A and B are shown apart, each in its own frame.
Chain A
Amino acid sequence: MTSRSNARDKPCLETLHHWLEKIPYAMFLGIKAEPSKKDIIFILPKNKKFIGNPSLPALHGGVIGAFMEQAAALHLVGSMDAAALPKIINFSLDYLRPAQLRDTYASCILSRKGRFISNLTITAWQEHINQPNAIARAHFLTPETN
């Protein structure tokens, strides 16, 4: 990958926050976005209301999926001058480890930003990115640019 495409693909935190605040469900989940060395890291803060299995306790798998899908959509609109939020086409999710009651992180790779369709891969983790709790792929209709 050239440095030019790296620069283009790293999402703009300001743009991403602009969209984040317009999404009631993202606010309900309390999703945050913070810069890391090379990229943007999304955070789903620890919250008892996300518990799916109270005996472990573990977070609801659906919430982890929703968080990852939202992270991917924000990563995409943060990477461009979008006129609207992207529409999801499909989402494929592999659960690798139960998510404990603690903060969950996600980072995305914009594998392809096509004129019409974009593909992202998403990794979610709690302790270490090399021990992901879930991995996912998403296709979105690429939003039109302003």
Chain B
Amino acid sequence: MPVLSNSQKFDLVTIMNAHIPHAALLGIQVESIEREELTLRLPYQTHLIGNHETGTLHGGVLTVLLDQTLGMATVCSDASEPSVTPTLDLRIDHLGIAPAGMSIFASARVYKATRKILFVEGIAYCESKEKPIARATGSWVRVAEVDLSWIVSSDKDAASP
């Protein structure tokens, strides 16, 4: 099983993301993939506000974005083959506030893969990764492998010839 290239991972994650109705509803987009790190973007929307006086986003919206990002980062891991992975658990520390009017980014990567469990960590931020507004860790269970034959055979810059 070759390690997928960045562009193959981007195609895979973009298709997965588009097939998740709630992610599409919130306008969650794939921002970038850099090796094993996936970044998603959530545009600011007034119906996602938690504090009506300040216009800041609801903490629960970060839960949705981080669950989505950490969960999809599992298919970007080079240490295991892309799998169908339901969430086992998720822990979020709220380090700051998501400011009004700004898109939120979330980046995540698998830091340990075992045969059955993928351990993932990630952050949510607005302006800079150096100033995260939330930090998440969680574990995902590998229940079935994803068929990648279509993406490996169709991609021109596959990692192996």
Q: Which residues of A contact B (CB under 8 A)?
A: 22-29, 48-54, 59-63, 65-67, 69-70, 85, 87-95, 98
Contact = CB atoms under 8 A, between A and B. Distances in A.
A90 B65 contact: no
Given A24-B47, A24-B52, A62 B88 contact: no
A100 to B, nearest CB: 14
B120 to A, nearest CB: 13
A65 B67 contact: yes
B64 A62 contact: yes
B64 A90 contact: no
Contacts of B130: none
Interface residues of B, number: 34
A95 B88 CA distance: 5
Interface string B74-89: 0000000000001111
Given A69-B63, A93-B91, A95-B88, A25 B49 contact: yes
Contacts of B90: 61, 65, 92-93, 95
Contact of B22 (A63, A93, A94, A95): A63
Contacts of A85: 50-51
Given A54-B19, A66-B64, A90 B49 contact: no
B47 A65 contact: no
7 contacts: A23-B49, A54-B21, A60-B20, A60-B68, A65-B90, A90-B94, A93-B63
B30 interface: no
Given A69-B59, A92-B91, A62 B66 contact: yes
Contacts, number: 114
Given A25-B47, A54-B21, A62 B63 contact: yes
Contact of B88 (A65, A88, A94): A94
A25 B48 contact: yes
A62 to B, nearest CB: 3
Contact of B60 (A49, A52, A65, A98): A65
CB-based closest 7 A-B pairs? A66-B60, A62-B64, A62-B67, A25-B58, A60-B22, A65-B63, A24-B49
B140 to A, nearest CB: 10
Contact of B89 (A26, A49, A50, A93): A93
